[in-house]
Structure 1
Amino acid sequence: MSPSLYGMRPSSRFVRFAPAALGLVLGLLALGPALGPGFTLRYDMVFVPDPVWGSYGGGFPRAVPSDQVVALLSAVLPGQIVQKAVLLGIFVLAASGAAALVPSDRTAARLAAAAFYAWNAYLAQRLLLGQWALLLGFAGLPWAVRAAARGGALRLAAALLPAAVGGFQAMLVTAVAVLPVAAFRSADGWRARVRGVLGSAATIAVLSLPWLVPALRSDAIADPAGVAAFAPRADGPFGTLGSLLCLGGIWNAEAGVPGQGSWGTAAVRLVLTAVALIGFVRQALRRRLQGDESYVRGLAVAAAAGLVIACTGAFAPRVLQGLMGVWAGFGPFRDGQLYIAPLALALAVGFAAAVTWLDRAALGRIAFAAAAVPVLALPTFALGAFGRLGSAEYPDGWRAVQAIVNHDPAPGALVSLPWGAYRAFGWNGGRVVLDPATKSFARRVVWDDALVVGVPGGGRIRVASEDPLNRRVGDLVSGSGPLTAAFADEGVRYVLVESRNQNAFLSRLPGAIPVWRDAELLLMRL
């Protein structure tokens, strides 16, 4: 039995808490300016003052239950404190979990695993894309794998809580790892393994109910064009497959850290991947000979499965498009790079195995220094990716508009204009962020949830809106006629217009009553 997997007893507090402390240090180093006063707003990372228990609309429930948990925590602590605690917690949870999974009581190896898993291209790119809820599942993945290997529904349920809070993406990525581990863990025969898989699947399903129920009841549409838009792409000189093996390859070029695609940085990361992969394979073979495979075999299957899912969108897109044509529920697999998270965990364990060999070879100082290697392989992730992450305060107008709308008991939706999902506010340093209106109001917000993605070599792919109401309102906005009566027919009560577009929409909303106007925002009531 592995001492760390089945209850290692550290000889000192340092050994026990060193990985978590290292995760905290890495989090402070990575976030940098994002820990300053205000909110960190970038792409999908939208935290707002005084968040409410709002409605997700008629599309896919992507922010369920993460938004509700944030609203609950923000009732106790200021919202910006909640955000910073969550972001730092991701690094601490990821580092300590990877260390706990390492089948070794050598501190150097545990720190190496912690550093590798808490500082890599996957975490960096998803953080720069603002997908903090997904990263909760990524951070909790080692703990979920550990619990699945040990068995027990309650133990697994506790380990799955970060992914459950994160929502559907976090839970699906976790399921890809947990189910193979439950299937291949050491057990008394195939019947016990089947019971383990069924029990794990049932636990995952129960914890997924907050988003699974509204997803099954939703009339959201998954556009097959999203397969090409969200397919993994090369972010370095070694092609798409090489980028995925180095834990990169995200579809959004703006999610890369500075200099990530240079030959030098990419080569170092590829060598690090090769060393970690060799270490993992050697460890898997050794443990199989010892008759104690624990989680290793299942994690290997999960890593391979995740890589196949990622490669499907890049190299066999018609397969996934065909599946989506049969059932929209295959839509979450279009962003295939998500599913290489188990590969990241396998490489962290493999890197720790290589460091263990150094430690046993009486190279202790070198082994301890190995924890710095992942940071040196991706140095520009530091300081908020050299300023790509920052913090900003909302203007007073946002809070005023939020108060007006949320204290109005009359029913009706709010339309956010101009018609586009993302904004680049001057007060946010020009950083692109999802429209904060989507998170600010205790009523249905109608917005442009379609997405336009540029492709290499020029051209754009438009992924259609998922929400039928959003599509209908979008058709109205794209026209040239008056909007007041048409909006009212769709159940709209408020229209919120960003400053630079106020005059353009005033003429199309005859009879609407302006209830707030400043240099930033215009709020009108129909």
Structure 2
Amino acid sequence: MRRARRLALVGVASGMALLVLAPVLGRGFVLVYDMVFAPRQWLLPDSVGLGSALPRSVPADAVVALVTSVLPGDLVQKLVLLAALAAGPVGAGLLVPTRSVGVRVVAAVAYGWSGYVAERLFIGHWPYLLAYACLPWVARAALALRGDGKQVPVEPAPDNDEQAAGEQAADEQAAGEQAAGEPQRVAVGVRACGRRVALLVLASAPAVLTPSGGLLAAAVGVVCGGRRGLLVTVPVAVVLNAPWWVPAVTHPGGGLSAVEGADAFAARGEGWGGVLVSLLGLGGIWNAEATPASRANPLVPVLVLAIVAVAALGWREWSRRCPGARGLVLLGVAGIALGALGASGLLGWVVANVPGGGLLRDSQKWVAWWALPLAVGFALGAGAAAGTVRRHGGLVLAGAAVLPVAMMPDLAWGGWGRLESVQYPRDWYDVRSVLLEDRRAGDVLALPLSAFRRFGWNEGRTQLDPAPRVLPRTTVIDDTLFVSGRPVAGEDERAARVRAVVERNGDLAALGIGWVLVEHGTPGPPTERVTARLERVYQGRWLDLYRVPGPVATHAYPTAPRAAVLTADLVALATVALGLLWVVLPAGSLSASGTRRRE
């Protein structure tokens, strides 16, 4: 029965993921806003936090670079998206303390078909989707560390046959333990403890690809692990997140962000319910273009409040059966509060004056903490309602499972055409070959100066400039962002200096720039004045590549200490590898066998 319940959840979750991603599963790349994958991404200093910019995409870029050296980039992208959209619902369903497949399915659908998933998918935040998918698994792994007899959510008593089998197995285990010697009992305890720690490490690993994802997972682990688990959950979070926090803390730029970012990236209301109701419904992202049109339906705020009310009814039962339930609810409330405070003056002061405070901007992302208590509570509340009308209980659960889909049908089929797979033009491959074969030193400057592009070959969709991920050299882009026409200053001091040199047509080689890439078919200021005195080495329909004359400076910008950053990377990688080996290999079995032989 347990295997059948898991298979049912996997089937529902896989079906939802395919319903969303089916149109884009062919060859090609989905390039939209921040979601930019390349045929092959190269391992560069920026990939591990040794560039001039703050490590916002560390170690995600390094991991993608390593994987795409083996697999095609478009295949990697599709596998990542499928895993992100399917794993979260399965984990949410398994987290519900019930034997009812229907109740678990309700939780899976509520978690997987949400405003958070839709908006983060449409804006291209695939690492956030991975972190979101990890949270239920992190919760389950951390609950196992409590050691208070409630390692995982407690299910209701089994039927008579299952109870008899369970009691027999328990008796056999007790007899075995009594017969075993003390060394074997110690070995069994060590193996069990090690496995729990290893599962927490593996559940957290995909989430730590970016700083925000790592913090989302770390908070869930700490809350679910409780006081007894702090000796594990805190060190695991510190070590796994070291690849980004070490270069961030030691970055010479100071780690401050523009105060305008707090207001520009603040959560927004999606209907008459305002910001708070939008956040309660797991929506409210700052970018209106990434919001499904169905979120503006006047019925949505009413249905959101109804779902929250049903969830509140389920929390009492959840708290009785799961030791970490109350903490997760409080953490979810904290996520709502952070989202609502996004436009406040206090948050703006933190962003502008506290190193690393920029992590708090785009405050809506923290409502990911609210998703688990909302989904599990709603499922248990729906299950309680179904229990009061036993004849029609199945219809109640079916209606609860369909409700999230009916509220937001335009998540299906790639957001009704929002997402589409396209191919990179041949120019990108040719320019890459030139840079690989030419030994001319220097980094690449991408023009026109803008962080985002709208290429004709991608149907004019807004996308992040792909040059830093496609080209095999460090590529400088202007990191100034424009939100609703308002500029938000970037954090990369080198990019600011390069922009100033471009504006006065100065010496780019003195800043370590040996190449200039001009991208055509996208809006931006003219580039002729800059390229007039450069040597063109490649000309294509979409790209031109120029060589900058004169000696190119080396070490043109300060970076974080190389030794500290690489040490943090190696320690985190070794921790994940050890966790994987501990789960896959029969750790400790040899010593146990040896004990039995001696006896």
Give the TM-score of the pair, scaled to structure 2: 0.78
SS at match of 2:294: coil
Corresponding residue of 2:354: 327
Contact 1:163 1:174 in 2 (8 A): yes
Matches within 5 A, 1:424-435: 424-435=454-465
Matches within 5 A, 1:203-352: 203-218=236-251, 219=253, 220-280=255-315, 282-284=316-318, 287=320, 292-314=321-343, 317-352=344-379
Report the alpha carbon displacement of residue 500 of structure 1 after superposing the two structures with TM: 4.7
1:51 is the counterpart of 2:41: yes
Point out where structure 1 has 5 or more consecutive residues left out of the alignment. 1-10, 184-192, 455-459
Contact 1:269 1:377 in 2 (8 A): no
Give the Cα–Cα distance (whole angstroms) in 1 for the partners of residues 380 and 525 of structure 2.
63
1:498 is the counterpart of 2:508: no
SS at match of 1:452: strand
Larger Rg: 2
Report the alpha carbon displacement of residue 65 of structure 1 after superposing the two structures with TM: 1.4
* One of 201, 208, 212 as aligned partner of 1:157: 201
Matches within 5 A, 1:475-514: 475-477=500-502, 479=503, 481-483=504-506, 486-500=507-521, 504-514=526-536
Give the Cα–Cα distance (whole angstroms) in 1 for the partners of residues 361 and 206 of structure 2.
23
Report the alpha carbon displacement of residue 211 of structure 1 after superposing the two structures with TM: 1.2
Corresponding residue of 2:215: 172
Corresponding residue of 1:189: none
State the aligned residue count. 488
Contact 1:146 1:295 in 2 (8 A): no
Corresponding residue of 2:118: 124
Point out where structure 2 has 5 or more consecutive residues left out of the alignment. 146-195, 549-599
Contact 2:24 2:419 in 1 (8 A): yes
Sequence identity (%)? 38
Report the alpha carbon displacement of residue 421 of structure 1 after superposing the two structures with TM: 0.8
Corresponding residue of 1:7: none
Report the alpha carbon displacement of residue 293 of structure 1 after superposing the two structures with TM: 4.1
Contact 2:352 2:358 in 1 (8 A): no
Return 410-419 or 170-179, whichever deviates more: 170-179
Deviation per CA, 1:35-62: give whole Å up to 9, x if none. 2321001000000111111232312212
Corresponding residue of 1:38: 28
Give the Cα–Cα distance (whole angstroms) in 2 for the partners of residues 127 and 512 of structure 1.
40
Return 213-222 or 374-383, whichever deviates more: 213-222
Contact 2:97 2:322 in 1 (8 A): no
Corresponding residue of 2:14: 24
Matches within 5 A, 1:60-209: 60-151=54-145, 152-164=196-208, 166-183=209-226, 193=227, 195-209=228-242
Report the alpha carbon displacement of residue 284 of structure 1 after superposing the two structures with TM: 4.3
CA RMSD of aligned residues (A): 1.9
Corresponding residue of 1:421: 451
> Using a 3 Å threshold, how does the CA distance of structure 1 residues 21 and 49 change in structure 2: closer, same or farther?
same
Amino acid at match of 2:531: L
Give the Cα–Cα distance (whole angstroms) in 2 for the partners of residues 76 and 170 of structure 1.
25
1:467 is the counterpart of 2:496: no
Give the Cα–Cα distance (whole angstroms) in 2 for the partners of residues 16 and 482 of structure 1.
62
> Using a 3 Å threshold, how does the CA distance of structure 1 residues 490 and 260 change in structure 2: closer, same or farther?
same
Matches within 5 A, 1:381-460: 381-454=411-484, 460=485
Contact 1:46 1:436 in 2 (8 A): yes
